[in-house]
Structure 1
Amino acid sequence: MSRMIKSMCMFLIATVCMAVIAPRGDAAIGCGTVVSYMKPCIPYVSNKGPPGGCCGGVKGLYSAAKTTPDRQSVCGCLKSLSGSINGINYGKVGGLPGLCGVSIPYKISPSTDCSKVK
Structure 2
Amino acid sequence: MANTSSHATTTALLLLICTSTIVSNQVAGLTCPHILTSISGCIGYVRGLVGVPPPGCCVGIRNLIAEYPSTPDRQQACRCLQAIIKSLPGVNTGRVAALSDKCGVNVGYNLTLSLDCSK
Normalised by the length of structure 1, the TM-score is 0.71
The answer to whether the Cα contact below 8 Å between 1:82 and 1:109 also exists between their aligned partners in 2 is no
1:28 Cα offset (Å): 3.5
4+ runs deviating over 6 angstroms? none
Instruction: After TM superposition, list the pairs within 5 Å mapping 1:8-87 onto structure 2.
Output: 27-49=28-50, 50-52=52-54, 53-87=56-90
List runs of 5+ in structure 2 lacking aligned partners: 1-22
Task: Point out the more displaced range, 72-81 or 59-68.
Answer: 59-68
Letter of the 1:66 counterpart: P
List runs of 5+ in structure 1 lacking aligned partners: 1-21
- SS of the counterpart of 2:118? helix
- Distance in 1 (CA, whole Å) between partners of 2:100 and 2:68 is 14
Superposition CA RMSD, Å: 1.8
Is the counterpart of residue 92 in structure 1 residue 99 in structure 2? no
Paired residues, number = 93
Task: Point out the more displaced range, 35-44 or 97-106.
Answer: 97-106
Normalised by the length of structure 2, the TM-score is 0.70
Q: Which has the higher helix share?
A: 2
**2:114 matched residue in structure 1:** 111
- Distance in 2 (CA, whole Å) between partners of 1:102 and 1:95 is 11
The answer to whether the Cα contact below 8 Å between 2:53 and 2:102 also exists between their aligned partners in 1 is no
The answer to whether the Cα contact below 8 Å between 1:27 and 1:69 also exists between their aligned partners in 2 is no
Letter of the 1:51 counterpart: P
Task: Report Cα offsets for 1:42-69 as digits up to 9, x if no partner.
Answer: 0110011242221111111111121111
Identity %: 38
